[in-house]
C-alpha cells in the first residue's frame, strides 16, 4: 500500500482539522484509505432533472434547476426559527427550508444564481417545499466528477448538522481520487482475477464511488465483496490449519474400558445414525496429535449431551480429566443431574462447581482436581477462576458457546501445558452462512435427526378469539395426565405494550382452572433462585398441572410429561426463541403440541414467523428464515458473539459469494499453506498487513 494512503485525513484538500476531527469521531475515518473504504449505502439516479410543476408528494429525491429569489427567517412555536428561501424555475415556485445550521446556510446561499437543488419534496397547503436540500451552482455542477448514479454515504445527525452533507463527502471522495488515482495496488493473484472474471482493484474502487452504469456498479460490488470475504476465510482457515499443525493435542489412542462398558451395557437408548457419525468424527480428531476444535450443532433434544459424555469417557480412558462449562447455573445443574446418573453407573467421580457452591465443598473440589481423583467437573464461569487447577485436563466441553467470549474460552485452554481438546455445543442452529463466517476456524459436526420414538411436535397458530377452544384442549390433556406450559413475554404491565402480562394471565388461568381440581406453578426472573427451584421441582414432580412462566424456562428444563406449550403474544418473540421454547415439550413418548397465541393485528414479519413455526420443526430451516428477517447482528445477540463488521459484503444476501470465497481460499491453502509460491506474493503481503492491523477477531466484534 502506498504511503500516501496512510496520510491523516485532515491533509486532504477540503477537510482541515475541524472536519478531520468530526470524520474521525463520527465515521472512524482517520486516514485516506479509510475514506476510500467508506462504501455507499445506496445510489440515486442523477440523470433526470424535474420541473417544479412536475413534482408529486413524496417522490424519492429529485433534482431541479432554478434560482433563489428571496431568503427570510420565520418564527414558529416558542422561540423557534426556520430559514426559508423561495426557489423558482420557468414553471413555478417552491420553498426551501432549514431548521438547523441556519447561520452557516444563510452565509452560503446566493441570490439569483442558477443552481441545482437536490432532495425530497413534500407538499403543504398545495405548495411544495424541500427541507435541507443540497445546493450546487450550475457551473460547479457541470464540472464535478459525476456519474449517472450518485453514491449516498453512511452519515450521522452530527455530520449533517455541522454541514458535512452527502454532497460534501462526495466532493471529498472526488478530491481523494484526484490525489491518489494510480496508487491502488492489486490484492488478488492474476489467475484468480481471470478465473472469476473479476475487474482490477483500481477499477472496482472507482466504480463503487462513481459508477458509470448499473453494470459497472455490479462488477465493482462483486469484486470488493469477494475480496473482503476471501481474506476473512483465508484467516479463519489458516487459523484452523495452524491449530492443527502447531497446537499439539493429547492423542487419545485408546478406546478403553469405560467407553466400551458404557456403550455395551449402560446406553439409555439406541444411538441415532447422526450421533454415531459425530462420535466417530470426534474420536478421529482426538486420536491425532493436534488439538481438536469442534462445534457440535444439534436441535433441542437431539442428544448432544450423550455425545459429550462419551467424548469425556475417551478422555478418562486415556488417563485425563474432562470438564463441561455452561452459561447459567440452571443449565449447569441440569447437565450435572443428567451426567451424574450416567457416571454413577461407571463409578466415575463427578462434581459441580458454580457461584453458589459452598466453601467447604470448593476445597474438596480443588484438592481432588489437583490430585487427579476428580474425573469430571461440571460448572459455570466458576471453572475459569485461577484457583481451579486440573492435574491433566484432556477435554473441555463448552455449552451454548455464543454466550462466552473469546477471552473466556482461551482461559480454559491455559488450564494445561498442552491445551485440552475443545468441543463446543450449541442448540441454537446456526445457518451454514453464519457458521462459515463466525466459526470458520472450527470443524463442524451436526446431529440432524431426533432419537427414535420421538414424535414431531405439532404446532398451530390460534388467535385470542379462539381461547375457549384452547382451554378445552388443555383440560382434555390434563385429563390424560399431561402437564402444560403457558409462557408470557412480560412480567409487569408496560404502558407502551398492552400485552397480557404474567400476573394478569396467572389470575385468569387460576379462575379458569380452580383448586382443588387443578394446581398451578408460577416462574419468573424476579424470583429468588431457591423459590424458582422449588416451583420447578413441584412441576417436574407432577404436583402441579400448569406452569405459568416467562422465558426463564427457555433453557435447561426437562419435564418429559409436559406435552403442551402455549406461547402467549407469540408475535413478541423472535423465531429462534419460539423454537427454543417449543423444544421444552416433546421430550416424552406422547404426542406434544405447541400453540402460538396472537392478536389479529400482525406485521408481515410476525406472520412469516408464525407460518414458519407451523410449517417446520427443522431448526436449521428456522435459523435461515430468522437470518433473513433479522440480519446476522441480531441473530447472534451482539454481546460477545459474532456480528461481522463487514464493510461491503452481507453474509445473508451474499451467501453465494461467501461459499465461493471459502472454496477458493481452501483450494489455495491446500496447495500452498504458507503462501510461499511466487504467484501468491501479493496475497502473502496483503495477508500479513491484514493480520498486523486486523486480527480476525476485529471482524467478529
Taking the whole predicted model, whether its pTM rises above 0.75 is answered as no
Do 510 and 587 lie in one domain? The reply is yes
CA distances from 482 to 339, 453, 474 (A): 26, 18, 9
Q: In terms of domains, do 540 and 595 share one?
A: yes
Residue 510: partners with Cβ closer than 8 Å, 6 or more residues away: 520
Is residue 504 domain-shared with residue 608, that is, in the same domain?
Answer: yes
Say if 623 falls within a structural domain. Answer: no
Residue 486 pairs with which residues in a beta bridge? 548, 566
pLDDT of residue 47: 75
The CATH number covering residue 89 comes to: 2.40.50.140
Residues 465 and 607 in one domain: yes
Q: Which grid cell sits at 657?
A: 459469494
Tell me how many degrees the CA angle 294-298-301 measures, rounded to the nearest 5.
135
> Which residue in this structure is represented by grid cell 447455573?
329
pLDDT, mean of each 10-residue run, the chain (701 residues): 84 94 93 93 83 78 93 87 94 92 89 92 86 89 73 89 89 91 86 95 93 90 95 86 76 92 91 94 91 85 90 96 90 89 95 93 95 95 91 91 64 79 83 70 81 85 94 96 90 47 86 93 81 86 92 67 94 87 84 95 92 90 82 45 66 82 92 93 89 54 28
Distances (CA, A) of 616 to 458, 612, 622: 9, 6, 8
From 600, 468, 489, 639, select the one nearest 552 (Cα to Cα).
Answer: 489
Residue 90 lies in a domain: yes
Q: Is residue 215 part of a domain?
A: no
Domain span at residue 603 reads: 458-616
Per the CB < 8 A criterion, the answer to whether 392 and 400 are in contact is no
DSSP string, 249-306: --------HHHHHIIIII-SSPPPHHHHHHHHHHHHHHTSSBPPEEEEEE-TTS-HHH
Domain boundary among 426, 444, 473: 426
If one counts the domains in the chain, the total is 3
The string of DSSP letters for 102-156 reads: HHHHHHH--TT--EEEEE-EEEETTEEEEES-EEEEHHHHHHS---SEEEE----
CA 251 – CA 395 distance, rounded (Å): 11
C-alpha cell, 216 = 459497472
Do 358 and 469 share a structural domain?
Answer: no
CATH of the domain at 479: 3.40.50.300
CB distance 545 to 479 below 8 Å: no
Instruction: Give the per-residue pLDDT at 641.
Output: 35
Pairing of strands 134-137, 115-119: antiparallel
Q: What pLDDT was estimated at residue 371?
A: 95
Using the 3D structure, point to which of 616, 643, 663 is the last residue of a domain: 616
Residue 471 lies in a domain: yes
CB 187 within 8 A of CB 201: yes
- Examine residue 23 and state whether it is found in any structural domain, yes or no: no
Nearest 5°: CA angle at 200, between 647 and 661? 55
Whether residues 267 and 367 share a domain: the answer is yes
pLDDT recorded at residue 402:
60
Could you tell me if 500 and 403 lie in one domain? no
Same domain, 517 and 383: no
Supply the pLDDT for residue 31.
Answer: 93
Q: Cis bond leading into 516, ω under 30°?
A: yes
Do both 371 and 413 map to the same domain?
yes
Q: Are residues 478 and 546 in the same domain?
A: yes
The answer to whether position 177 is within a domain reads no
For residue 104, what is its C-alpha cell? 452557516
> Does any domain span residue 417?
yes
Assess whether 267 and 137 both reside in one domain. no
Helix (H, G, I), strand (E, B) or coil at 656: helix
- Do both 592 and 472 map to the same domain? yes
Q: Evaluate whether 134 touches 118 at the Cβ level (below 8 Å).
A: yes
In a domain, 481, yes or no: yes
Domain end point (choices 145, 162, 186): 145
Amino acid at each position: 500500500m502506498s504511503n500516501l494512503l496512510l496520510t491523516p485525513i485532515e491533509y486532504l484538500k477540503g477537510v482541515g482539522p475541524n472536519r478531520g476531527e468530526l470524520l474521525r469521531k463520527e465515521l472512524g475515518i482517520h486516514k485516506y484509505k479509510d475514506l476510500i473504504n467508506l462504501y455507499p449505502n445506496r445510489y440515486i439516479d442523477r440523470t433526470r432533472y424535474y420541473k417544479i410543476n412536475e413534482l408529486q408528494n413524496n417522490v424519492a429525491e429529485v433534482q431541479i434547476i432554478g434560482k433563489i429569489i428571496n431568503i427570510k427567517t420565520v418564527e414558529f412555536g416558542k422561540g423557534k426559527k426556520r430559514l426559508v428561501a423561495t426557489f423558482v424555475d420557468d414553471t413555478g415556485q417552491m420553498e426551501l427550508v432549514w431548521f438547523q445550521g441556519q447561520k452557516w446556510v444563510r452565509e452560503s446561499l446566493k441570490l439569483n444564481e442558477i443552481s441545482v437543488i437536490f432532495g425530497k419534496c413534500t407538499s403543504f397547503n398545495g405548495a411544495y417545499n424541500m427541507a435541507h436540500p443540497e445546493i450546487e451552482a450550475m457551473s460547479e455542477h457541470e464540472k464535478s466528477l459525476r456519474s449517472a448514479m450518485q453514491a449516498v454515504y453512511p452519515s450521522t445527525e452530527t455530520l449533517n448538522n455541522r454541514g458535512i452533507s452527502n454532497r460534501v463527502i462526495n466532493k471529498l471522495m472526488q478530491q481523494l481520487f484526484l490525489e491518489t488515482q494510480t496508487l491502488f495496488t492489486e490484492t488478488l493473484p492474476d489467475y484468480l482475477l481471470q478465473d472469476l472474471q473479476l475487474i482490477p482493484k483500481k477499477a472496482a474502487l472507482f466504480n463503487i464511488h462513481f459508477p458509470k452504469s448499473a453494470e459497472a456498479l455490479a462488477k465493482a460490488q462483486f469484486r470488493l465483496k469477494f475480496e473482503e470475504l476471501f481474506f476473512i476465510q483465508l484467516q479463519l482457515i489458516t487459523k484452523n490449519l495452524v491449530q492443527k499443525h502447531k497446537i499439539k493435542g493429547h492423542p487419545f489412542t485408546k478406546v478403553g474400558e469405560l467407553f466400551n462398558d458404557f456403550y455395551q451395557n449402560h446406553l439409555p437408548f439406541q444411538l441415532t445414525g447422526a450421533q454415531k457419525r459425530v462420535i466417530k468424527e470426534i474420536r478421529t480428531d482426538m486420536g491425532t496429535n493436534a488439538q481438536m476444535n469442534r462445534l457440535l450443532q444439534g436441535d433441542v433434544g437431539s442428544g448432544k449431551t450423550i455425545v459429550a459424555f462419551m467424548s469425556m469417557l475417551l478422555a478418562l480412558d486415556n488417563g485425563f480429566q474432562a470438564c463441561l462449562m455452561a452459561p447459567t447455573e440452571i443449565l449447569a445443574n441440569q447437565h450435572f443431574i443428567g451426567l451424574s446418573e450416567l457416571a454413577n453407573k461407571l463409578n466415575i467421580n463427578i462434581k459441580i462447581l458454580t457461584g453458589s457452591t459452598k466453601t467447604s465443598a470448593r476445597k474438596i473440589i480443588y484438592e481432588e482436581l489437583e490430585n487427579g481423583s476428580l474425573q469430571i467437573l461440571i460448572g459455570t464461569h466458576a471453572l475459569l477462576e485461577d484457583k481451579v487447577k486440573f492435574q491433566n485436563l484432556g477435554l473441555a466441553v463448552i455449552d451454548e458457546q455464543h454466550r462466552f467470549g473469546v477471552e473466556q474460552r482461551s482461559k480454559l485452554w491455559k488450564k494445561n501445558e498442552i491445551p485440552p481438546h475443545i468441543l463446543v455445543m450449541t442448540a441454537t442452529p446456526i445457518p451454514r452462512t453464519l457458521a462459515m463466517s463466525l466459526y470458520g476456524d472450527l470443524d463442524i459436526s451436526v446431529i440432524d435427526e431426533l432419537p427414535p420414538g420421538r414424535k414431531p411436535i405439532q404446532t398451530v397458530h390460534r388467535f385470542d378469539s379462539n381461547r375457549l377452544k384452547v382451554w378445552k384442549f388443555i383440560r382434555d390433556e390434563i385429563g390424560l395426565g399431561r402437564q402444560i406450559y403457558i409462557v408470557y413475554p412480560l412480567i409487569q404491565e408496560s404502558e407502551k405494550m398492552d400485552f397480557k402480562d404474567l400476573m394478569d394471565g396467572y389470575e385468569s388461568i387460576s379462575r379458569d382452572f380452580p383448586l382443588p381440581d387443578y394446581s398451578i406453578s408460577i416462574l419468573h426472573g424476579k424470583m429468588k433462585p431457591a423459590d424458582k427451584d422449588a416451583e420447578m421441582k413441584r412441576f417436574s414432580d407432577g404436583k402441579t398441572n400448569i406452569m405459568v412462566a416467562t422465558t426463564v424456562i427457555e433453557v435447561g428444563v426437562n419435564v418429559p410429561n409436559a406435552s403442551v406449550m402455549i406461547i402467549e403474544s407469540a408475535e413478541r418473540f423472535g423465531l429462534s426463541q419460539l423454537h427454543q421454547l417449543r423444544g421444552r415439550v416433546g421430550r416424552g413418548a406422547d404426542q406434544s403440541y405447541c400453540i402460538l397465541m396472537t392478536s389479529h393485528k400482525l406485521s408481515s414479519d410476525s406472520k412469516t414467523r408464525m407460518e414458519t413455526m407451523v410449517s417446520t420443526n427443522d431448526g436449521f430451516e428456522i435459523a435461515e428464515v430468522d437470518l433473513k428477517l433479522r440480519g446476522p447482528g441480531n441473530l447472534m445477540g451482539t454481546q460477545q458473539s459474532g456480528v461481522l463488521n463487514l464493510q461491503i459484503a452481507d453474509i445473508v444476501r451474499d451467501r453465494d459469494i461467501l461459499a465461493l470465497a471459502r472454496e477458493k481460499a481452501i483450494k489455495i491453502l491446500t496447495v500452498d499453506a504458507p503462501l510461499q509460491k511466487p504467484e501468491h506474493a501479493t496475497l502473502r503481503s496483503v495477508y500479513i498487513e491484514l493480520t498486523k492491523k486486523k486480527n480476525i477477531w476485529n471482524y467478529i466484534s
